[in-house]
Amino acid sequence: MKYYATITVIGRDKTGVVARVTNYLFEQKANIEELEEQVTRGQFSMTLQASWPSAFWDFERISSGLVKLAQELAMEIKFRTHDPKQLQRAAILVTKEPHCLQGLLTAFGARQLKAQPTVIISNRKDLESIARKNKVPFELVDKADRSEAEKEVLAVLERHGIDFVILARYMRILSPNFVWRYKNKIINIHPSLLPSFPGAQAYRQAYERGVKIVGVTAHFVTMNLDEGPIIAQDSFHVKPNMTLKDIVARGQELETRVLVQAVKLYLAKRLDVYWGVVKQV
């Protein structure tokens, strides 16, 4: 039997951080299965996947050692364990559009998605009734300041033991500080065939440009807006008499379907991100 954990390290860049963390894990008999680190404007971020044989697993010892190491490095180190046999815990972030949230909850309820919808987080109250109807806890985080809002959202995710995040038409941009804590664990749906038409007005831009094919894209969220590794896409042909309203309505149908498909692929562990590209395995 093996035990698995994700470790994130975030703080001001300094020499020796990777060596200190990996050496500590080596001393704790961990097998480092994946490691990715990056420095952005002096901010160091590292995400590390590790596993332990049961003979060497001691959560309290490993956890307390990482707390001590975080103090010595003056950095934040998070240690999240996960059991492959247990259902992953999902957080769904929304704003006011209900179609993706309803589609996800329907898929969860029908057990098409083998995970637990653990909490719904929003910056508005519009969709609280849907959460209540489906008996999923609803958390309102409506702070105007982005850093304060993200701090509160991260606290909610920590409190609920969240494994991955779904952005179901969540209309706030996430900072690198947030994204690195859930590297390749935040799935977004965008209303265009990326890389065309990033941003909030994708359908309008497509309509005004007179494009003949409109689509949607599910992708992992990265520090660059709407440039994350693409998981799934779908599209439809624009008929000559279609209005912007028609295009939006047709696109929203696809958004729900493609987002559910992307989450399903993620949960089936069929996705591997290599040099910024998603490959199905």
**Exposure of 104 by Cβ count < 10 A (0-12 exposed, 13-18 middle, 19+ buried)?**
buried
Q: Is 234 a catalytic residue?
A: no
CA 17 to mean position of chain CA atoms: 25
From CA 276, how far away is CA 261, in angstroms rounded? 20
Q: Is 164 helix (H, G, I), strand (E, B) or coil?
A: strand
Strand order in the sheet with 138-140: 138-140, 115-122, 88-94, 164-167, 186-190, 213-220, 230-237
Q: How many CB atoms lie within 10 A of CB 41?
A: 6
Q: Which of 226, 234, 246, 272 is catalytic?
A: 226
Place of tokens 């069929």: 270
CB 88 within 8 A of CB 46: no
Copy the structure tokens of residue 101: 């949230």
Residues belonging to the active site: 226
